[in-house]
Amino acid sequence: MEFDPIEEISKTKKGFAVQQQLYQAAIKEIRTKLEILDEEFQVKYDHNPIHHIESRLKSMDSIVRKLRDRGLEVNIDSIVNNLSDVAGVRVICNYKDDVNSIAKFLLNQDDITFIKKRDYISKPKDNGYRSLHLIIAVPIFLYESTELVRVEVQLRTIAMDFWASLEHKLKYKKENEVSKNLSHRLQRCAINLAAVDEEMQEIYREINLEKP
């Protein structure tokens, strides 16, 4: 049978639409789990560890570009087997301790499959980036089958998220580059914000110790 590139692209798009539904369902599952954990903390400990939750699904253009950059085939199997960040959930926590607590309790759930962890809080990136990244899989129950779907969960404090948002905007503002001077200033900001995180955490602990 003669290869028809247009037909293959059409098949990939249809397949991605189906896969997209799975990724969206996985995001909903993870968000629900996190919201329940946050509510439980509020009831038991009078504390909400999660400030807010964000989520996103990579576009097909972004997925295709990433696969091609890696020299990989562009098809559904390639997406499922090689990309772990198509579905993403970002958890913004109030304090550093909250990041570790939420990560721990999420991973302890019976239906969560742990795949990979990258701790950029204990070991920040050279540019100052701090965040805890988890690659996990969650079961999605369909009409005829159950699919394990990968989701990247990023956990960080409000300060870490503020820095990351600013750095991202500056990095892509002009020709995808940041001057050396600006990079150094951003690194200093990251260090200063990390110190603020530590101080706010200590203050919160002391306040709780003083409670009657």
Q: Are strands 87-93 and 146-157 parallel, antiparallel or unpaired?
A: parallel
Residue owning tokens 């962890």: 117
In a domain, 126, yes or no: yes
- Residue 34 CA to residue 40 CA, distance in Å, equals 10
Domain of 16 in residue numbering reads as 5-158
CATH number for the domain harbouring residue 119: 3.30.460.10
Q: SS3 string of the chain?
A: CCCCHHHHHHHHHHHHHHHHHHHHHHHHHHHHHHHHHHHHHHHHHCCCCEEEEEEEECCHHHHHHHHHHCCCCCCHHHHHHHCCCCEEEEEEECCHHHHHHHHHHHHCCCCCEEEEEEECCCCCCCCCCCCEEEEEEEEEECCCCEEEEEEEEEEEEHHHHHHHHHHHHHHCCCCCCCCHHHHHHHHHHHHHHHHHHHHHHHHHHHHHHHCC
In a domain, 196, yes or no: no
Which of 76-80, 180-184, 208-212 has the least mean pLDDT?
A: 208-212
In a domain, 152, yes or no: yes
In a domain, 203, yes or no: no
In a domain, 205, yes or no: no
pTM for this entry: 0.88
Number of folded domains that form the chain: 1
Residues 6+ apart with CB under 8 A from 9: none
User: Residue 5 above 60 pLDDT?
Assistant: no
In a domain, 16, yes or no: yes
In a domain, 185, yes or no: no
By the 8 A CB rule, do 111 and 146 touch? no
pLDDT digits (tens, 9 = 90+) for 84-135: 999 999 999 999 999 999 999 999 999 999 999 999 999 999 989 999 999 9
Residue owning tokens 């580059």: 177
In a domain, 177, yes or no: no
Compute the average pLDDT of residues 140-162.
95
The letter for the amino acid at 57 is L
